[in-house]
Amino acid sequence: MNILHCDLDAFYAAVEQRDNPHLQGQPVIIGGRPESRGVVATCSYEARKYGVHSAMPASQAYRLCPHGTFLPPDIKKYHSVSRQVFEIFTDYTPTIEPLSIDEAFLDISGCHKLFGSSQEVGILIRKRIKNEIGLNISIGIADNKFLAKLATNLCKPDGILLFDANMIQNTLPKLPVSSLWSVGSKTAWRLNRAGIYTAGDLANISPEKLQRIVGSNASFLIALAQGHDQRPVCPRSDAKSMGNEITFPIDLSDPAEIDQVILELSSQVGFRLRQSELKACTVHLKLRTPDFTTVTRSRTLGNAIDADLVIYNIASDLYRQSGLTGKPLRLTGINCSNLIPCDLEQPALFEKSSDRLDNIIDELKNSFAGAKISRASLMEK
Ligand code: TTP
Ligand code: MG
């Protein structure tokens, strides 16, 4: 029982309730304005009683819960709280696989001598997040990732649950097929049509028969239905920043030329971010004058980005505000930090953070290694 699945309860809404006592115990809905075409990012459990849920149009949420408090998301604040939560996780294990801004798997095999049983570690983490950060987190504990996540879903909100052998035998078989990993509404419908309703039904079916219904996923699904899941907890790359810089053969002072360099560097850094499936919340610009004085400027954003032109616009702005416009420079560099895995960035409720043209250029760069492919504005420069 070494795998913990940890997921904060009603994350964005809970942060707002924590920071505003008037909202505690109230229906709070985070997302677009009710009169806009925006959607609900999340809502407090008090609002869920009225049928409000994530991804619902805000106008519909308003019809269901007109007395609820509707607030826009403060992504910068949530990222900072998320970092504090993940800091606490790292006190117990280095093997952390983040799944989203508020959710992670922890493999705690190595920490029992120091902190006790898995259940004791789970209780400790919940207590610390409550006391130090002021939020509730639900924790599922099991032998594998699938059962640990299932346990969290069963004990939410504000719960902790160990999915033990007894539950594998008695609870798992009764759960609907939709509780299995990768079974969405379409697959569930196909399974139900074939008379398969529960994990128990699935556990006893022949792989050949199931293959005709769900294709190549069949053996994986049967294993899950029997409570088996071999997937290890995979910690992510811990790159702290990503940057590129150029030292010029002769000093440059023409702002238009420097701007071209900034665009080229933005494309290089953007490409590397996307290749690593990372996004950045902070962009830094580094400028070095001929006397080796180095000036750095940075900007931290409310959302995470990886698009060349977004990086370029920020870096170019920093250049114009640097006081060095028109002055000779021997080096220019761009660095992106505060990196988060792409899938931690929630669905695009907010500012557009990447660009379709970037994806096309990336594909071409990957397919024609060595070829010079870039935006037309960078050609012949
Ligand atoms: P979730 O963990 O899915 O939801 P939650 O923490 O609000 O509620 P709970 O876990 O108790 O069911 O997502 C974490 C945050 O991600 C959520 O607070 C808001 C954001 N989010 C979106 O922006 N859009 C979405 O569609 C979803 C599902 C979440
Ligand atoms: Mg959550």
For position 182, what pLDDT does the model report? 83
Where is pLDDT greater, at 345 or 74?
74
For position 216, what pLDDT does the model report? 78
Domains of the chain as residue ranges with CATH: 1-163 (3.30.70.270), 168-225 (1.10.150.20), 241-378 (3.30.1490.100)
Beta bridge partners of 246: 332
For position 254, what pLDDT does the model report? 95
Catalytic residue, chosen from 16, 97, 103, 345, is 103
Among 103, 40, 37, CA closest to 72: 40
For position 98, what pLDDT does the model report? 85
Among 305, 365, 315, 330, CA closest to 247: 330
Among 142, 197, 59, CA closest to 151: 142
Q: What is the pLDDT of residues 94-112, one digit of tens each?
A: 999 888 889 999 999 989 9
Task: Output the residue whose Cα is nearest ligand 1's atom 25.
Answer: 41
Rounded CA-CA distance 174/197 in Å is 9
Task: Output the residue whose Cα is nearest ligand 1's atom 15.
Answer: 11
Banded pLDDT at 370 (limits 50, 70, 90): low
Q: How many CB atoms lie under 10 A from the CB of residue 256?
A: 7
Banded pLDDT at 350 (limits 50, 70, 90): very low
For position 348, what pLDDT does the model report? 42
Report the share of the chain in percent with pLDDT over 70. 92
Residue 349 confidence (pLDDT) above 50: no
Mean pLDDT of 187-208: 95
Banded pLDDT at 91 (limits 50, 70, 90): very high
CB 102 near ligand 1, within 6 Å: yes
For position 247, what pLDDT does the model report? 87
Task: Please enumerate in sequence order all residues whose Cβ is within 8 A of that of 166, keeping only pairs 6 or more positions apart, or say none.
Answer: none
Residue 27 confidence (pLDDT) above 80: yes
For position 75, what pLDDT does the model report? 84
Residue 40 confidence (pLDDT) above 90: yes
Q: Which helix (H) or strand (E) holds 31?
A: strand 28-31
For position 215, what pLDDT does the model report? 83
What is the full DSSP assignment across 145-193? Answer: HHHHHHHHHHH-SS-EEE--HHHHHHTGGGSBGGGSTT--HHHHHHHHH
Q: How many CB atoms lie under 10 A from the CB of residue 7?
A: 19
Q: Which residues are near ligand 2, the ion (C-beta closer than 5 Å)?
A: 7-8, 11, 102
Please tell me the distance between residue 81's alpha carbon and the centre of ligand 1 in angstroms. 14
CB 52 near ligand 1, within 6 Å: no
Comparing 75-79, 234-238, 271-275, which segment has the lowest mean pLDDT?
234-238
Where is pLDDT greater, at 207 or 249?
207
Measured from the Cα of 13, ligand 1's closest atom is 18
Which range has highest mean pLDDT (18-27, 245-254, 297-306, 372-381)?
A: 18-27
Banded pLDDT at 281 (limits 50, 70, 90): confident
For position 204, what pLDDT does the model report? 93
Report the share of the chain in percent with pLDDT over 90. 69
Mean pLDDT of 67-79: 92
CB 11 near ligand 1, within 6 Å: yes
CB 345 near ligand 1, within 6 Å: no
For position 54, what pLDDT does the model report? 92
CB 137 near ligand 1, within 6 Å: no
Mean pLDDT of 264-286: 89
Q: Ligand 1, residues 11, 30, 153, 351: which to mutate, most atoms within 8 A of Cβ?
A: 11
CB 103 near ligand 1, within 6 Å: yes
Please tell me the distance between residue 75's alpha carbon and the centre of ligand 2 in angstroms. 15
Q: Are 354 and 361 in contact (CB under 8 A)?
A: no
Q: Which helix (H) or strand (E) holds 250?
A: strand 241-252
Where is pLDDT greater, at 79 or 23?
23
Please tell me the distance between residue 379's alpha carbon and the centre of ligand 2 in angstroms. 46
For position 152, what pLDDT does the model report? 98
Mean pLDDT of 293-319: 92
Please tell me the distance between residue 156's alpha carbon and the centre of ligand 2 in angstroms. 9
CB 172 near ligand 1, within 6 Å: no
Is 103 in the active site? yes
pTM above 0.75, yes or no: no
Please tell me the distance between residue 152's alpha carbon and the centre of ligand 2 in angstroms. 10
Q: Are 375 and 362 in contact (CB under 8 A)?
A: no
